């Protein structure tokens, strides 16, 4: 039972992070869970709890959800997934992960130091961001950054950024959960731990969302850049 409740507190923290920023629960949960459970259990468990997080945030941000903002990312991600699977078979993943990690760190530091004006990229860039997200996600299990960077380049409100990321990740997460279930990756042990941790992740997401509502867009973006730096470091080290 100790493992179950440690996992619960890990997801409390993970839910808080994603409730605050709109992403990052797996970034928090996977490394910590790897100390107490097998990674093959941790991954589908994160996806199930991630679905709780994104469903809650999608409901809370439903007035800011905009299909025109989300669809380019979704449509672009589909061929990207196919390319990513092929890339995984042919390319040394460590070099690509190192390069992506370095790019995230440089990009985020630049924005934290210089605070450039929003570029407001068009839908074409949304398709490209979705494609890169699908490619990197399928090949290296770290597909979030291109979609996150795309949304931070806009002049959207922080709620619109969170809603777009949430809608995108909720849809791709649901597809992944179904694939895990059909392929047998999600086991009875996974479901037992999920039953215990789901209330914790919901509480964490609620708390993070409350804090997010009290900060302005500039502070929100600064938090995103800080988390992108952490993601970049982790990608370079793993």
| Structure confidence by residue, pLDDT tens digits, 6-19 | 999 999 999 999 99
Inter-residue contact 172 to 129 (CB < 8 Å): no
Provide the pLDDT confidence category of residue 88 given band limits of 50, 70 and 90. Answer: low
User: Residue 130's pLDDT is what?
Assistant: 92
Question: In this model, does residue 209 exceed pLDDT 90?
Answer: yes
Q: Which residues contact 190 (CB under 8 A, 6 or more apart)?
A: 41, 44, 45, 48
Q: Give the pLDDT confidence of 49-68 residue by residue, as tens digits.
A: 999 999 999 999 999 999 99
CA separation, residue 113 to residues 107, 108, 110, 116, 189 (Å): 10, 9, 5, 9, 46
Cα–Cα nearest to 22, from 204, 132, 120, 169: 169
DSSP per-residue string spanning 7-46: HHHHHHHHHHHHHHHS--HHHHHHHHHTTTS-HHHHHHHH
CA separation, residue 83 to residues 91, 94, 170, 184 (Å): 12, 17, 22, 24
User: Residue 231's pLDDT is what?
Assistant: 85
Q: φ, ψ for residue 216 (rounded to 5)?
A: -85, 175
Give 55: exposed, middle or buried? Use CB within 10 Å, 0-12, 13-18, 19+. middle
Q: φ, ψ for residue 115 (rounded to 5)?
A: 45, 60
First to last CA, the chain: 30
What's the whole-number mean pLDDT along residues 193-208?
A: 96
Question: In this model, does residue 150 exceed pLDDT 90?
Answer: yes
In terms of average pLDDT, the best of 1-10, 140-149, 188-197 is 188-197
Q: List the alpha helices (DSSP H) in the chain.
A: 2-21, 25-33, 39-60, 67-90, 93-114, 123-140, 144-152, 158-183, 188-212, 217-237
pTM of the model: 0.84
Q: Give the pLDDT confidence of 163-187 residue by residue, as tens digits.
A: 999 999 888 888 888 888 888 888 9
Percentage of residues in the chain having pLDDT higher than 70: 93
User: Residue 222's pLDDT is what?
Assistant: 93
What's the whole-number mean pLDDT along residues 96-115?
A: 86
Provide the pLDDT confidence category of residue 85 given band limits of 50, 70 and 90. Answer: low
Provide the pLDDT confidence category of residue 154 given band limits of 50, 70 and 90. Answer: very high
Give 185: exposed, middle or buried? Use CB within 10 Å, 0-12, 13-18, 19+. middle
Pick 173 or 138 by higher pLDDT: 173
- Residue tagged 């092929």 (tokens): 86
Question: In this model, does residue 141 exceed pLDDT 60?
Answer: no
Question: In this model, does residue 83 exceed pLDDT 60?
Answer: yes
In terms of average pLDDT, the best of 112-116, 157-161, 202-206, 215-219 is 202-206
């Amino acid at each position: 039972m100790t493992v179950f409740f440690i996992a619960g507190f890990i997801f409390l923290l993970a839910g808080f992070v994603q409730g605050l920023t709109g992403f990052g629960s797996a970034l928090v949960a996977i490394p910590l869970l790897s100390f107490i459970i097998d990674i093959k259990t941790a991954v589908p468990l994160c996806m199930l709890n991630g679905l709780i997080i994104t469903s809650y945030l999608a409901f809370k941000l439903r007035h800011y959800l905009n299909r025109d903002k989300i669809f380019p990312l979704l449509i672009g991600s589909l061929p990207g997934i196919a390319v990513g699977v092929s890339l995984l078979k042919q390319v040394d993943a460590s070099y690509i992960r190192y390069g992506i990690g370095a790019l995230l760190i440089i990009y985020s530091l630049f924005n934290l130091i210089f605070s450039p004006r929003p570029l407001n990229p068009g839908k074409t860039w949304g398709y490209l961001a979705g494609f890169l997200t699908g490619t990197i996600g399928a090949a290296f299990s770290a597909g979030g950054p291109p979609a996150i960077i795309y949304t931070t380049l806009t002049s959207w409100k922080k709620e619109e950024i969170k809603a777009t990321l949430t809608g995108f990740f909720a849809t791709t997460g649901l597809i992944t959960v179904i694939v895990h279930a059909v392929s047998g990756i999600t086991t009875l042990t996974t479901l037992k731990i999920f039953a215990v941790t789901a209330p914790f992740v919901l509480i964490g997401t609620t708390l993070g969302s409350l804090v997010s509502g009290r900060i302005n867009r500039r502070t929100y973006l600064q938090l995103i850049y800080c988390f992108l730096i952490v993601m970049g470091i982790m990608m370079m080290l793993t």
